[in-house]
Amino acid sequence: MELLPMSLTRAIWLFLISAILLCSIQVPCFIGSAANFSNETDRLSLLCFKDQVTDDPLNSLSSWDDNLHFCYWQGITCSGLRHPQRVTALNLTGQNLVGRISPFIGNLTFLRIINLANNSFHGKIPEERGRLRRLRYLSLTNNTFTGEIPANLTHCLKLEVLNLYGNQLSGRILIPTEVGSLLKLTRLDLGNNNLIGSIPPSLGNLSSLTYLYLRRNSLTGSIPGEFSQLVSLEVLSISENEVSGPIPVSLSNASGLLVIKLAINSFSGSVPMNFGRLKGLSKLYLGGNRLGIGKSHDLSFLHSLTNCSSLQELDVSDNRLSGSLPDSMGNLSTQLRILWLGSNRIFGSIPSGIQNLVGLTTLRMEYNSLTGIIPIGVVKLNELR
């Protein structure tokens, strides 16, 4: 058998040693400038990522070898005029991958997009992600990550979307206070985790935020008054937590709100009359709270909501609202499809004007103290309780 020349053998061994060292000893980031990194750094960092994947049932990473340039590997995008062969996107959503995220992902310094949603990655989210200063989109939805949200993610000042929904994140700090510096953030989704503690007031600094989703955690405290500053906010979802106190009247200052979901918490007091100022409001879910305690004429907010001409769904069931239904409720939006008023302390008759709600398909008024007859138009509803 013919032996390889000594120089070639040495070169092969040096290459193998370099690859092993890269995956075992972290390459330092941001020493000097980005010029310290190269196309080869990207390739080796991706191989380290692959090395941490323990199960690849769909063979999604089968193309990740030296037979193909890494820019053409599945899930990899390279782009840019000045640096055309640097990795800018890692998109392996829904590939059923199992494993941990290699910390060397932090060496892919040109990354703008990371989408690893709907896999089975576990362990902690690497702190090294905070080094990706060009990152604009990060989605790790529906994995099984544990631990706290890395504080240095707040170094990604260009981040527009942060989606960590459906993991097992925990920690007494929901998200670092410094998140208020992510002024380009438009979507923040931390729902369906194990987060506890209060909601940071610093979220009120996110003037570009349009979507805030904190549902299904164990959050406590109250809604920060600073949320009134979220002038671009369209969707606010904090349902299924343990948030308490009154619903801030100033929340109506977030005039772009289209959807408010605060159901299944411990809110008390009254429904803010100022919600009638939210002209574009289409969904308001306040069921499963303690609204109405110590208040009289609690149903007067229904009159204010007649100004919301786009209202489609209204749920204030399972509270402690008392009083009679105002005649003006017949002036609610004709687009209203769902009206849930059940399990309160409502008495008196059902206003005949409710027949004007021609778009209504579901009306729930069970477990109250209503009297009189049911208006004819209401009897014809698809679901009446």
- Residue 51, SS3 per DSSP: helix
What is the reported pLDDT for 174? 67
The pLDDT mean for the chain works out to 87
Does the CA dihedral 358-361-266-189 come out positive or negative? negative
| DSSP per residue, 219-233 | EES---GGGGG-TT-
* Backbone torsions φ then ψ of 209, nearest 5 degrees: -70, 130
> Between the CA of residue 78 and those of 29, 87, 105, 157, 169, what are the distances in Å?
20, 5, 15, 21, 31
What is the reported pLDDT for 131? 81
Task: Tell whether the model's pLDDT for residue 336 goes beyond 70.
Answer: yes
Q: How confident is the model at residue 177 (pLDDT cuts 50, 70, 90)?
A: confident
What is the reported pLDDT for 37? 55
pLDDT digits (tens, 9 = 90+) for 264-276: 999 999 999 999 9
Task: Tell whether the model's pLDDT for residue 128 goes beyond 80.
Answer: no
Cα pseudo-dihedral 124, 128, 134, 139, rounded to 10: -10
Q: How far apart are CA 353 and CA 324, in angstroms?
A: 14
Mean pLDDT of 29-44: 61
Mean pLDDT of 64-86: 90
Q: How confident is the model at residue 83 (pLDDT cuts 50, 70, 90)?
A: confident
| DSSP per residue, 115-167 | E--SSEEEEEPPGGGGG-TT--EEE--SSEEEEPPPGGGGG-TT--EEE--SS
**98 is written with which tokens?**
């199992």
Q: How far apart are CA 58 and CA 142, in angstroms?
A: 18
